[in-house]
Amino acid sequence: MAESFIPVDLLNPGQVFACLGFLEAAEVLLGDAKAVFDWSDARGTKFSVMARGEEPPVKRVLRFLADAEVVARAPHGSRSLQKWKPKWGGCEFDDPGHPFPFRDPGSPAMLPAVLREPGGPEVAIEYWGDTTRRDKAKFWTGMAGYPGAAIVRAAVESAGLEMLQYEEEPFSLARRQSSSLRFDWRRDNIPTQDGFSANKHSSIGLVGFPLVDVLAAVGMTHARPLKNDETKLEYRYGVLGRDERRLFLEPTFHRAALGLDRTPVAGLPFRSFVMRLDWSGKEGQARSITQVHEEEIPR
């Protein structure tokens, strides 16, 4: 088993979701993945992940992303491909009878993305099409039909091979991004809050964090923050910590913790956070994270 340590800001929801993305990807690529959040050091919180083999899991995941081809997938016979534009990258039909994760969206904007290593494993991103009772936690809108798969592809390409140099601090890799999945609030511009719209100023470029975006999307595969049913603009997310035993936990426990307001594992430290969002433009379209605070947990 090999282990990786990376710093994480628990008040940045996208970074927390991206930690789960590292865990999910390590499970696919290496197997036997386990992880722990550790805030026992006053200098900052670290996320530790271990998995099978000798290669550090974070290094393996970044190597996978650096080599990965990003394609959209559509159910066999879908009309979604009729609206697909070549500039968005590759898109392919599933074979007849192949199970699709949700009903045909009828639009390229919602087609799942697949990150594929040449001749190797695949990691799927499909949370934005979820038709279960879980909230999608989809903050981007896909203006003019711009697909989520294309946003993921652009993010991976913008990070490029340089991402391999960020093994120790992957969430610090910054790039100019014209669009994003809106998981990292360090990028977003909210006109009513900032007093201007970046979209109306071509000389202004928004700097985003592509690895946070992509890995947070992977983290949404089996976990979601808990939405406040009374509003579309508030979510709660939870984080499991370590005790003196420094237990590394399987993905199931971290998935559960993300959507709870109390620990799913008796005796383990747990912290709960509330994030508030606002409309980036018109109400009912894209949402941006604007405020995050830690919530006191009743004893």
Banded pLDDT at 192 (limits 50, 70, 90): very low
- Confidence at residue 234, expressed as pLDDT on a 0 to 100 scale: 96
pTM: predicted TM-score of the whole model, two decimal places: 0.92
- DSSP string covering 35-95, please? EEEE--STT-EEEEEEESSSS-HHHHHHHHHHH-EEEEEE-TT-GGGGG--GGG-EEEEPP
- Confidence at residue 279, expressed as pLDDT on a 0 to 100 scale: 84
d(CA 250, CA 34): 5
Average pLDDT for the chain: 89
1-40: pLDDT as tens digits: 999 999 999 999 999 999 999 999 999 999 999 999 999 9
The candidate with the shortest Cα–Cα distance to 74, out of 94, 59, 88, is 94
Break the chain down into helix, strand, coil percent, rounded to 5: 30, 25, 45
- Confidence at residue 201, expressed as pLDDT on a 0 to 100 scale: 42
Long-range contacts of 84-89 (CB under 8 A, 24+ apart): 84/108, 84/147, 88/146, 88/147, 88/149, 88/150, 88/153, 89/149, 89/150, 89/153
Long-range contacts of 155-160 (CB under 8 A, 24+ apart): 155/180, 155/181, 155/208, 155/210, 155/211, 155/213, 155/214, 156/65, 156/68, 156/70, 156/115, 156/210, 156/214, 158/210, 159/65, 159/66, 159/210, 159/211, 159/214, 160/66
Q: Which residues contact 152 (CB under 8 A, 6 or more apart)?
A: 70, 113, 115, 125, 181, 213, 214, 217
- Confidence at residue 188, expressed as pLDDT on a 0 to 100 scale: 63
d(CA 41, CA 44): 6
d(CA 29, CA 196): 43
- Confidence at residue 288, expressed as pLDDT on a 0 to 100 scale: 87
Average confidence (pLDDT) over 264-269: 90
Sequence spans of domains, the chain: 2-295
- Confidence at residue 191, expressed as pLDDT on a 0 to 100 scale: 47
53-62, 182-191, 225-234, 257-266: lowest mean pLDDT where? 182-191
> Is pLDDT above 90 for 50?
yes
- Confidence at residue 143, expressed as pLDDT on a 0 to 100 scale: 58
Task: Determine how many CB atoms are found less than 10 A away from the CB of residue 143.
Answer: 12
